[in-house]
Amino acid sequence: MKRAVIAVISVFAAVVFAATAFGAQKPSFDQADKNNNGKVSIQEAFKAGAEKGSAKLNDLDDNGKLTKNDWEYVDMKKEGKKKESIEPEQG
């Protein structure tokens, strides 16, 4: 019984540590908003390390821009994963 409790605590600690370490890699909204216009373009999101699908998925009004609220839900690329190509921003 004691071993099971220790195992559960160890797994929980590992998950919390991994989540904290991964979360620390995500830049803040203001860091991602390189042109300081109050929105993060899809291109800015890619450059900040966002997953392509996640950035586009969280652009709910499909205008190519993420609000500060949207940014909280954007997933970052996993470390070591090959970076996606970045298309030039239109506009």
Hey, where are the domains in the chain?
2-71
Mean pLDDT computed over 61-78: 92
* Range of 3-17, 46-60, 77-91 with top mean pLDDT: 46-60
Q: Is the pTM of this model over 0.95?
A: no
Kindly report the number of other CB atoms within 10 A of residue 74's CB atom: 22
CATH number assigned to the domain with residue range 2-71, chosen from the 4 options 1.10.238, 3.30.70, 2.60.120, 3.20.80:
1.10.238
Phi, psi of 81 (to 5 degrees): -80, 140
Burial group, residue 33, by CB count within 10 angstroms (0-12, 13-18, 19+): buried
The two tokens of residue 59 are: 């652009």
